[in-house]
Copies of this chain bind each other. A is one copy, B any other.
Amino acid sequence: MSILDKFKSGDPVALARIISHIENRGPETEKILAEIYPKTGRAHTVGITGPPGAGKSTIVDKLCALYLERGQTVGIIAVDPSSPFTGGALLGDRIRMQDLAVNPNVFIRSMATRGSTGGLALATTEVIRALDAFGKEFILVETVGVGQVELDVAEACDTTVVVLVPESGDSIQAMKAGLMEIADIFVVNKADREGAQRLVSELNMMVDVKRDKAGRDLPVVSTQATNNGGVAELLTKIDAEYERLKVGDNFKQHRKKMIRYDIIKTIEHRFKSRLLDEILPNEKLDQFVEKIYAGQGNPYDLAQKIIDNLK
């Protein structure tokens, strides 16, 4: 049986191998992705982002347990973009989750960047699609909300939950950075700590401003995830978001947005990875570099010419 047949028959080993394919970008990766893509669009994909130490892993952990209680299957992806400074914590959390990992209804994978390939967001999206095609009903994607990768991953998910804690400081900072743009649900975790109520109030005020424009409510949920406080309510809100998506034409529009995203990101990434092979081969590039070094021309006019030639 081929790896794709095994994947289709629900073999988790085949899923793991396909994810490794995606991470290592072997020659077959694109073929495999093309093959499984028609099976996507059935999972509810939920991005969970927020600052280091906000308790995202605990929330993912507890949500996962609730899904399993309902008899549903779960995929978990923990994305650690590069970070030399937060990497350790994430790894520690994953070890804590090992009791979940032995459950056959859960599939857990950590993803981290290697060097500066810049393809982490795309690879994460592809792993989301693979878990979806495999038949996982819920996919939880945990990211440390500090950069571009997180914004990209949020765009690839159906629902985005932004987790804050009282100490994470001004909600204004969160708004500034575009988290307000990507959040569907806000969570104030460690809600027993000082300043939690103030943060909830501030977020509710921000949400009110936004509702006027978008015409819908953004829930703000208080949790104390370590002892399960508020997690069931959070799950209710996450479910409600999915229901909202499925009303009338919404889901069709949403699915098309996702397909559009997958097309654009894939083209951009392929262009990058093939630029030096096919469009501007190394010898040709070297000639241009020599010329510019000698004071003839500049990178901007050259880029213009090359892009013009593509049309």
Please report A residues at the B interface, Cβ cutoff 8 Å: 30-31, 33-34, 37-38, 51-52, 81-88, 113-116, 118, 120, 145-149, 151-152, 155, 168-170, 173-174, 176-179, 181, 252, 255-256, 259-260, 262-264, 266-268, 270-272, 274-276, 278-280, 285, 288-290, 292-293, 295, 298-304, 306-307, 310-311
Partner of A300, one of B115, B170, B266, B288: B266
Partner of A310, one of B34, B279, B295, B299: B279
What does DSSP make chain A's interface, helix, strand, loop or mixed? helix
B307 touches A146 (CB 8 A): no
Given A30-B304, A81-B147, A147-B148, 8 more pairs with CB closer than 8 A: A33-B300, A38-B298, A82-B148, A83-B146, A87-B176, A148-B148, A148-B149, A264-B276
Residues of chain B lying within 8 A (CB to CB) of residue A120: 148
Residues of chain B lying within 8 A (CB to CB) of residue A118: 148
B268 touches A271 (CB 8 A): yes
A173 touches B87 (CB 8 A): yes
B303 touches A270 (CB 8 A): yes
Partner of A169, one of B88, B145, B271: B88
B170 touches A30 (CB 8 A): no
Task: State whether A295 and B38 are in contact (beta carbons under 8 Å apart), knowing that A168-B85, A263-B289, A279-B310 are contacts in the complex.
Answer: yes
